Chains A and B, each alone.
Chain A
Amino acid sequence: MKFRYDVVIVGAGLAGMRAAIAIAEKNEDVSVAMVSKTYPTRCHSVCAEGGTAAVFDKEDSLDLHAWDTVKGADFLADQDAVELFVSECPKEILTLDAWGCPWSRTEDGKIALRPFGGQSLNRTVFAKDRTGFHEVHTLYERILQYPNIEIFSEYFLTGLIVENDEIKGLTAIDIKTGELTLFEAKAVILATGGAGRLYGFTTYSHNVTGDGMAVAYRCGVPLKDMEFFQFHPTGLVPSGILMTEACRGEGGYLLNKDKERFMKRYAPEKMELAPRDVVARAMWKEMIEGRALEGEHGLYIALDLTHLGEKKIKARLPLIREAAINFAGIDPVEKPLPIKPVAHYTMGGIHVNKNCETDVKGLYATGEVACISIHGANRLGSNSTSECLVFGRIAGENALDFVLNKDFKLVKEDEFFEEERKIEEIFNKNGSESPYAIKKELNEVMDNYLWIFREESGMKKAVQKIKELKERYKDVKITDKSKSFNTDLIYTIEIGYMLDLAEAVAVCALFRKESRGAHYRLDYQKRDDVNWLKHSLAYKTADGVKVDYAPVTITKWEPVERKY
């Protein structure tokens, strides 16, 4: 099969849908295809809970939002991008309001705000604790109204077709029929989300495997800052389901086994509402030093919401309550929840500038798959959904400008056959290794050696182990030989993607000899601005990962010590 669209967007989450709408709003004649491996309402963005950051408070200012973001990022964020970002956030909130997003309100009918980690003032716009869910549905409903957006659900990205540093199209497997499909395009926007399933204990949906990152990486596009992986303090034990930061924003406490609010020792001013890296590290320390509670699923910390009262929990945190009851059998109204830090967000991603452009002409990346970089070494809670909206639109608009008055570059038959051959090769694999065993081991490696506290020896082991797993992956076995809905094949390709990404994460982490934001090394516990105030760029080469570095853009704020 072959399709031809002016712009092809891969991924139908918040960023992808926002990009599609941005194009369709401005131009009715440009054809847009939105290709994704799930239906739009099933994307991982629906799992975003707490809120979306934007300046609305009268005492708040754009500069303050930018400063909080930069400080939260441990000064690794590109400040020009951050300034652009914060100035666009409020507009996006109002746009979504006009499109029907059920934002929570104050008594006088205005959009309500709640406090979130690392922010100086209340800055998080929210829709109860289902913000991402409502935003996704609002955008999806909006998309139904544009005739020039075509949705291709359940198409799995397998490759980009690039010639002379210019994009020509992409290939994807139509999961329903199993056929490889060619999409010719003048511009491609990648919005496939993060790579959270690298980790075993994670908040991510099952299929968030970094497809876009891996595919671009294999085409020679560098990945930026992959060593920075966010660990969210409050993942429900044992499933890892996210208990939103809003739990603490609404007044919840973190308690150790002595019922002590231990955060007072780590962030006396902000307490539970310090940025996520600080809180996650504090919790991990409590756990290592024997002050955690112990249950049938191992160590945990208590997230106490009982003092908030039933009324507030039901009104502000209904999803949390529902999830806690369904998945841990505990009602937060009555008892504290068992939680521990959990892999949550990929700060790194495809290297793009603040216009979402990669080095390949016509190839854009936006949302979590991209590293723009506004999150630097640690993202602040509620900045990610804002990023998806703001930079989704920017990517869409830039792609639109790019495709106007441009012609299609024809994809040669050979190029398509080459992609087809690659997939055939995997499909016909009949080795002795189970892909799922490889994935399980990969998860263990990541959970053990690239977790919150890292050190040289562990990371070296991780690099070694990932290399071994990559070797073993070559001898993988695909049992399912049917065409239609062959998830065995899809999962196996995903695991291949993850192995590439894990290698980039491990190598970049090993090279960065300092502690910054989410990347904390026991052997280099201080931040080192002299040598390491720079972005890592990972390139895929025949002999493994090649790491290069790029400067950080600083406009207003020079790095200072980070205290909360």
Chain B
Amino acid sequence: MEVIFRIKRFDGGSSYWDEFKVPINMTVLEALFYIKENIDSTLAFRAFCRMGICGSCAIRINKKPMLACETQISKLEKETIELEPLKNFNVIKDLVTDFEGFFKKQKLAKPYLIRKSKGEIQQTPKQLEEYYKYTLCIKCGACVSACPVAKRCLGPAPVVAAHRFNRDSRDEGKEERLKALSDHIWHCHFVSDCSEVCPKNLHPAEVVQKVRLEVLKFNLGW
């Protein structure tokens, strides 16, 4: 059994569509390697851990941003599958997009533990669960690709990172972080596609609203 991959290529100058036949019984990422190793070795894509935890291989599969490694072709239930690079990123080549800006934006949200106190730290499992879910962001860029306003603001991922530390009982830098966020967080229109595409189900749309309320309260001094 075979399916057809329609891949949007870009060679630095022009972009065009290319078609390849690939076996159905593999993941999208394995099929990309199949193409690279057997049909066209000029195809460029990013891949690393192939187990859904490094965040390298997010591309748009039939318009939806997904991790290529986690997606079984058979589950897509289509005979033709369209692969495109992520939106809202500059394309470098074929399915590879430029992530420099994405990682620079992360920094603006101060996504790190701010702690002045010294000495032994305690944290109960309950306190851990308060924020644990939000530590799972793999920075794959799927949420940014789905967001129609991401180009003009931080995008969902950094806000999730900030929220993770705001809820961490060890952290002492929430105010600093909210101050840093207050210039960057108002563009969200609750399109909420970021929540639909997040491969780790972190619900960035909900998080952004929560953080916005916190920033609002902080700025108003409530």
Q: CB atoms of A and B under 8 A apart anywhere in the complex? A: yes
**Contact between A323 and B48 (Cβ–Cβ < 8 Å)?**
no
Q: Are A485 and B52 in contact (CB under 8 A)?
A: no
Q: List 16 A-B contacts (CB under 8 A).
A: A38-B48, A46-B54, A98-B121, A104-B128, A105-B123, A133-B138, A134-B135, A145-B112, A176-B92, A206-B50, A241-B51, A323-B51, A326-B52, A327-B51, A484-B12, A485-B44
Identify which of B42, B51, B56, B92 gathers the most chain A CB atoms within 10 Å of its CB.
Answer: B51
B residues within 8 A CB of A153?
99-100, 103
Complex CA distance for A323 and B50, rounded to whole angstroms: 10
Q: With A141-B113, A144-B112, A480-B44 given, name 17 new contacts (CB 8 A).
A: A39-B103, A42-B48, A46-B49, A98-B113, A98-B121, A100-B171, A102-B132, A104-B125, A107-B124, A107-B125, A110-B122, A144-B111, A205-B48, A239-B51, A326-B72, A327-B51, A482-B12
Q: Are A484 and B52 in contact (CB under 8 A)?
A: no
A488-B42 in contact given A41-B138, A42-B54 (Cβ < 8 Å): yes
Q: A46-B49, A100-B171, A327-B51 are in contact. Are A485 and B125 (CB under 8 A)?
A: no
Given A176-B98, A326-B70, A480-B41, A141:B111 Cβ within 8 A = yes
Task: Please tell me if the beta carbons of A488 and B11 are within 8 angstroms of each other in the complex.
Answer: no
A549–B174 Cα distance when bound, in Å, is 56
Q: Are A102 and B131 in contact (CB under 8 A)?
A: yes
Q: Which of A107, A130, A141, A206 contacts B47 (CB 8 A)?
A: A206
A142 contacts B by Cβ under 8 Å: yes
In B52-108, the 8 Å CB interface with A consists of: 52-56, 70, 72, 92-94, 96, 98-100, 103, 106-107
User: Is A38 within 8 A of B56, CB to CB?
Assistant: yes
A41, A109, A142, A482: the one contacting B55 at CB < 8 Å is A41
Partner of B52, one of A106, A207, A322, A436: A322
Known: A207-B48, A239-B50. A479 touches B42 (CB 8 A): yes
Interface residues of A (CB under 8 A from B): 38-39, 41-44, 46-47, 94, 97-100, 102, 104-110, 128, 130, 133-134, 137, 141-142, 144-145, 153, 176, 205-207, 239, 241-242, 319, 322-323, 326-327, 434-436, 440, 478-480, 482, 484-488
- Tell me, rounded to whole Å, the shortest Cβ–Cβ distance linking A129 to chain B: 11
Interface residues of B (CB under 8 A from A): 11-12, 27, 33, 36-38, 40-42, 44-45, 47-56, 70, 72, 92-94, 96, 98-100, 103, 106-107, 111-113, 115, 120-125, 127-128, 131-132, 135-136, 138-139, 165, 168, 170-171
A43 contact set on B, CB distance < 8 A: 54
Minimum distance in angstroms from B222 CB to a CB of chain A: 27
Instruction: Give the distance to chain A from B183, nearest Cβ to Cβ, in Å.
Output: 18
Instruction: Give Cα A322–Cα B171 distance, bound, in whole angstroms.
Output: 29
CB neighbours of A142 from chain B (8 A): 112
Chain B residues with CB under 8 Å of A133's CB are 53, 138
B residues near A327, Cβ cutoff 8 Å: 27, 51
Cβ of B131: which chain A residues have Cβ within 8 Å of it? Answer: 102
Q: What's the Cα separation between A42 and B70 when bound, in Å?
A: 16
What residues on B are CB-neighbors of A100 within 8 Å? 112-113, 115, 165, 168, 170-171
Q: Are B42 and A482 in contact, CB atoms less than 8 angstroms apart?
A: yes
A144 touches B135 (CB 8 A): no
* Docked complex Cα distance between A327 and B71 (Å): 9
Q: Which 8 A-B pairs have the closest CB atoms?
A: A100-B113, A109-B122, A436-B37, A141-B112, A480-B42, A485-B93, A42-B54, A205-B49
Are B96 and A485 neighbours in the complex by a CB distance under 8 Å? yes
Partner of B99, one of A39, A484, A488: A39
- Assembled-state Cα–Cα distance A464/B124 (Å): 58
Q: How far is the CB of A416 from chain B (nearest CB, A)?
A: 25
Contact of A205 among B54, B72, B111, B121 (CB under 8 A): B54
Contacts of B107 in A (CB 8 A): 144
A435 and B36 alpha carbons, distance in the complex (Å):
11
The distance from the CB of B139 to the nearest CB of chain A, in whole angstroms, is 5
B128 partner residues in chain A, CB cutoff 8 A: 102, 104-105
Return the chain A residue nearest B54 by Cβ. A42
Minimal beta-carbon separation of B213 from chain A (angstroms): 24
User: Which A residues touch B168, using CB under 8 A?
Assistant: 100, 102
B70: min CB distance to chain A, Å: 5
Q: Are B55 and A42 in contact (CB under 8 A)?
A: yes
Which chain B residues lie closer than 8 Å to A484 at the CB level?
12, 92-93
CA distance A94 to B121 in the complex (A): 8
- CB-defined contacts of A41 to chain B, threshold 8 Å: 54-55, 138-139
**Contacts A42-B56, A141-B111; is A487 near B44 (CB within 8 Å)?**
yes
By a CB distance below 8 angstroms, the chain A residues around B52 are 322-323, 326
Cβ–Cβ < 8 Å partners of A99 in chain B: 112-113
Residue of A107, A109, A242, A484 with most chain B CB atoms under a 10 A cut-off: A109
What is the CB-to-nearest-CB distance from B99 to chain A, in angstroms, rounded to a whole number? 6
B53, A130: Cβ atoms under 8 Å?
Answer: yes
Complex Cα spacing A134 to B93, Å: 31
Q: Chain A residues with Cβ under 8 A from B136's Cβ?
A: 130
Q: Which residue in chain B gives the minimum CB-CB distance to A329?
A: B72
Residues A102 and B93 in contact in the complex (CB < 8 Å), given A42-B55, A480-B41: no
B contact residues around A46 at 8 Å (CB): 49, 53-54
Q: Assuming the A-B contacts A46-B49, A97-B121, A206-B47, are A482 and B93 also in contact, with contact meaning beta carbons closer than 8 angstroms in the complex?
A: yes
